[in-house]
Structure 1
């Protein structure tokens, strides 16, 4: 999805091999220069919590490693394997812990274009089937929890189709390849709009986006790029209300007083330090969703090991 950002860059031009960082015109083009069978290991950590007034609740920490291997390289694409392992969670929610175990040793095979911009998940059917088996197990294990079927079905819906997996289930992969394929000029902020996935299942949201190449380090052959993304508040609020109505109906419970739901705001900030080879050195994505005095915070950090 984020490769749609390329439409915003009028200065996307042809490139010269191994000349990603050009000091003369202060530009960087993010391209994957990867060899077949090349592997890098990353540590990924995430933190989430909610704040109501001055009280912080539902704080959760997750940490895992992923081995990223270039399985094939052609003139027009890369085939890349992500293998997840060592999942650790700091949460009191046993359901969430068991859900995370399904991803242990999960293999995700993706394809990018020749520049390294994400194109698709190749083995989505394999992922769907694995998650389906895991969801069935969770329904039996937690059958004592009210509405467990509805809860588990909602989780499983993220993996039912190729589009759903690419939109909602591979957030770390989408974050990793956010900037690949485009050319950026130091200090020049580029703004525009794009469609972003709607996790509630209806049509995509419209988001205002701005991107800037913030720093170039010639000696270390890397650069820092930042992005700000804000989803249309009216679209977000309407989709949330519709989702809550749907969930209440599915659980056969009384619908909440939706007229009292305030306007929702959603902002995502992504920063990455990217090496001239196209490998990410460090990436952080912070998402904040808020309304009145309630804030939901998420941060995911990807760091090369």
Structure 2
């Protein structure tokens, strides 16, 4: 090899030497250099991967989560509540259409007849149905209306609802021990009733019972209540009024600061104000 190498010209010899050097350098680089790609993980992704086990456990808990169902009156099921219970849109719409006629379901069988829910769904949710006391006790405690103190032959004596006792209220057909307590608690909460329309806000009173109440009770004189000055009260003072929550109290103050003193006609312009209760609420306010 040496003899044959010496037969080449000087330039050829230099070229051969350079070729061997290049091959040697390339092999050395390949042997000592790590050509594996390096995957860089940023800090945010590293934190995410570190918490992946926690995330997986939370997802597993959510997959196995079953919401707790509390007793409820099926007459007041909303779209969202019906969806959570497993009712279809058509079944919910049937119930809402029935309620728009001012009718009530008073048993699980009536609920199924109106909504047409399946037997399996009814079996699952009916144990949580909670009907008013007078519905459950009407068969056991029913007495002909003529046998009560307010007899047809007697002249009806209309009492002031703000002076009514528990015994007075229980003389009305459809009002039992618990509902009478609920009415009196509602009266104490507001300092007195300003309108018989407030009976519709007492839970458990059906339209029929409210109609009976209106026969024997009325607001004869304005109760001695401490009215809230809506233009001077603070957020804290407004939020203590039973009709107002903190968020609404805050919106009232914001509206007042931007538009000046609030008048009765301005109440409907305030964000989140309960429009259906404006007439009642206004009677508790001072402008």
After TM superposition, the score normalised by the length of structure 1 is 0.21
Larger Rg: 2
Larger % of helix: which? 2
Question: Which protein, 1 or 2, shows the higher relative CO under an 8 Å CA cutoff with sep ≥ 6?
Answer: 1
